[in-house]
Amino acid sequence: MVSMQKPISVRDALSSTAAQESASVQGWVRTRRDAKAFSFLEVNDGSCLKNLQVIAPAGLFNYPEVQHLITGASVAVRGKLVASQGQGQKWELVADEVRVVGPSDATYPLQKKGHTAEFLREIAHLRPRSNLFGAIFRTRSRLAYAVHRFFQERGFVYVHAPIITGSDCEGAGELFRVTTLDPSAPPKRPDGAVDFAKDFFARPTYLTVSGQLEAEAFACALSKVYTFGPTFRAEDSNTSRHASEFWMIEPEMAFCDLAGNMDLAEEFVKALIREARSTCAEDLELFGKFVDKDLISRLDFVLERPFQRVSYTEAVKLLVESGKTFEYPVAYGTNLQSEHERFLTESVFKCPVTVYNYPKEIKPFYMRLNDDDRTVTAMDVLVPGIGEIVGGSQREERLDVLEASMRRHKLDPKDYGWYLDLRRFGTVPHAGFGLGFERMLMFVTGVSNIRDVIPFARTPGNAAF
RNA sequence: UGCCCGGUAGCUCAGUGGCAGAGCAGGUGACUGUUAAUCACUUGGUCGUAGGUUCGAUCCCUACCCGGGCAGCCA
């Protein structure tokens, strides 16, 4: 390290505007080819999709060692950055020194040939070294940054909702219990039940399934807020679009109704797509080539058009009148099945669709009751290929109506004291939604399995790595 | 959790009730400003696991494990 000057990234080397008398680059060897008087090394450091071609002359003192470099080895290279004589790259590095930092061997699982996503999933610690996963996780980082920029530029305050929650009735699925009690010998109450009063928090606690209720409290003080953090669902879901641990973005706005909520959701989704198009062009090109041939045109199409908006009633009517036979029949009052949602967004409209005003019976207690007394201000954004990417609503801000809704949902208002206080003191109309960050990434990259857009996926029966 | 498909070399996959195969990767050599380089030779196997049927099972049957797809739950 002492002999090395400050290294530059492969990305900077490749985007250089002039030859450089002396430059250092460090990274991992993707492949090596021998020529007569030198060896070609392709070095990648994850700073961009492309590799830097290194010319390692036969005169190097450690040339025999260089000739045994294989895929996966790490190297530090110092040399001259010069215009390439060959086709396919503008610049290449003619090495004065190639230091083998860490060798690799024949058991290195990654090859320069393509691998299936399923195989790479089993080596989650090495897959970011592949072209596809490097591109996915660079895109993930850019989009995470864009999430914050989008909201910060609009005056939203970032709220860190708690990860551990005492509420087991958020209504969004099964919860993971958080406890320090000994599972083989928990303290018992006289009646034989586990005595959670003796647990760490002196009550049962769980990992959060949503930061919404907490975000509502902050929206009713700071007006516009958002959360962006991990979320946990203990559902035994085994699909390509569910994970036990995922990241969710939940904006919440005071003095906002359903229409404003739908506007924000659409603007947000489009902003993220626009960000990917402008700052991840090279990576998107890879997705368009190897993952989904229609990706780029679909993203551009979505950017250009307003999302279609239909009420649940209209959606049901469209499905019934389509004449298509579904495995599950369409009927007012039942949840839209995946096949129904897919048909709407992929066949009827061929673009994202926002469905709103669902029957109150099939939606959670906190959604605002409409004047028709039959529907609530729910809204789901459905996108082609994935289905639901956003779920949200205007919240019930009327204390008496909210309490009645809780009772209808067999919930005890006494368990929601602080939540009801928000309606007791200075209540305001407010609305918000949740956007699944991984589902957004799936849409932007074309990757069809959620396990491939999370660095280390947690799904039922799988928490290796 | 339910239904369906799959598991054969490091990877991607053929294959047959009777001696285990290819391409790529790895190794050796040749050639060469190459770029998924090329050419020749070559190493490499508990055919997912356990039972069963059979003279004989990688192949047929059963259970289990693992992976994938779809559905439900949702984001």
State, as a whole number of angstroms, the distance between the CA of A321 and the C1' of B4.
30
C1' of B46 to CA of A401 (Å): 67
Selection from A345, A364, A158, A367 nearest residue A258 by Cα: A367
- Residue–nucleotide distance: A178 CA to B6 C1' (Å): 37
Q: Which amino acid is at A444?
A: V
The answer to whether some atom of strand B lies closer than 7 Å to the beta carbon of A16 is no
Between residue 110 and residue 169 of chain A, the positions with Cβ below 7 Å from nucleic chain B are 111-116, 118-119, 121
Mean pLDDT of all residues in A18-47: 94
* DSSP annotation string for A231-300: EE------STT--SEEEEEEEEEET--HHHHHHHHHHHHHHHHHHHHHH-HHHHHHHHHHT-TTHHHHHH
Q: Residue A165 pLDDT more than 50?
A: yes
pLDDT at A17: 95
pLDDT for the residue A147:
98
- Nearest nucleotide (CA of A120 to C1'): B11
Q: CA of A457 and C1' of B3: distance in angstroms?
A: 25
Beta carbon of A234 within 7 Å of strand B? Answer: no
Which residues 366 to 405 of A reach strand B, CB within 7 A? 380, 387-391
Q: Is the CB of A275 under 7 A from strand B?
A: no
Q: Assign A222 to helix, strand or coil.
A: helix
pLDDT in tens, A241-292: 999 999 999 999 999 999 999 999 999 999 999 999 999 999 999 999 999 9
Instruction: In whole angstroms, give the CA distance from residue A382 to residue A349.
Output: 11
Per-residue pLDDT reduced to its tens digit, A205-233: 999 999 999 999 999 999 999 999 999 99
Report the pLDDT value the prediction gives residue A171, as an integer from 0 to 100. 59
A430 touches strand B (CB under 7 A): no
**Cβ contact A337 with chain B strand, < 7 A:** yes
A31 touches strand B (CB under 7 A): yes
Give the integer Cα–Cα distance in Å for A394 and A430: 6
Residue A167 pLDDT exceeds 80 = no
pLDDT at residue A5, rounded to an integer: 73
Asked whether A406 and A365 are in contact (CB, 8 A), the reply is yes
Q: What is the pLDDT of residue A168?
A: 63
Instruction: Name the residue with tokens 């004449």.
Output: A323
Average pLDDT in the A111-140 region?
93
Q: Kindly tell me if the per-residue pLDDT of A61 is higher than 80.
A: yes
Cα distance between residue A323 and residue A200, in whole Å: 57
d(CA A20, CA A30): 23
Indicate yes or no: strand B within 7 A of the C-beta of A64: no
| Distance from CA(A391) to C1'(B5), angstroms, rounded | 33
Q: Is the CB of A102 under 7 A from strand B?
A: no
Residues A11-31 have pLDDT tens digits of 999 999 999 999 999 999 999
Indicate if the pLDDT at residue A1 is higher than 50.
Answer: no
The answer to whether the beta carbons of residues A316 and A354 sit under 8 Å apart is no
CA distances from A328 to A81, A246, A324 (A): 63, 29, 11
Per-residue pLDDT tens over the stretch A395-444: 999 999 999 999 999 889 998 999 999 999 999 999 999 999 999 999 99
Output the distance from A393 CA to B35 C1' rounded to whole Å.
53
Q: Dig out the tokens for A288 from the structure.
A: 């368009």
CB A221, CB A181: distance < 8 Å: no
Evaluate if the CB of A208 falls below 7 Å from strand B. no
Q: Indicate the pLDDT class of residue A2, thresholds 50, 70 and 90.
A: very low
| CA proximity to A163, closest of A132, A206, A226 | A206
**Residue A97, CB, strand B, below 7 Å:** no
* Residue A219: predicted pLDDT: 98
**How is residue A278 written in tokens?**
């402008």
A170 touches strand B (CB under 7 A): no
| Nucleotides on chain B within 7 angstroms of protein Cβ | 1-2, 10-13, 24-27, 30-37, 66-75
Q: What is the mean pLDDT of residues A323-342?
A: 91
Residue A247: which nucleotide is closest by CA–C1'?
A: B75
3-state SS, residue A347: helix
Q: What's the rounded mean pLDDT across residues A336-348?
A: 93
Interval A317-340 mean pLDDT: 92
What are the tokens at A357?
């005003």
Protein CA A93 to sugar C1' B2 (Å): 57
What is residue A337's DSSP assignment? P
Q: Say whether the CB atom of A452 is under 7 angstroms from strand B.
A: no
CB A411 within 8 A of CB A405: no
Nucleotide B26's nearest residue (CA vs C1') is A106
Q: Is the pLDDT of residue A204 over 70?
A: yes
Establish how many alpha carbons lie within 13 A of residue A154's alpha carbon, considering only the half-sphere containing its beta carbon: 19
**Three-class secondary structure of residue A403 per DSSP:** helix
Query: What pLDDT digit, counting tens, does each position of A139-161 carry?
Result: 999 999 999 999 999 999 999 99
Band of residue A172 on the pLDDT scale cut at 50, 70, 90 = low
Closest nucleotide to A171's CA, by C1' atom? Answer: B74
- Position A169 scores a pLDDT of 58
Report if CB A66 to strand B is under 7 Å: no
| C1' (B25) to CA (A20) span, angstroms | 36
Kind and range of the H or E element at A80? strand A74-83
CA of A159 to C1' of B14 (A): 56
For residues A328 and A348, what is the distance between their CA atoms, to the nearest angstrom?
18
- In the prediction, which pLDDT does A170 show? 56
Mean per-residue pLDDT over chain A, rounded: 93
pTM: 0.94
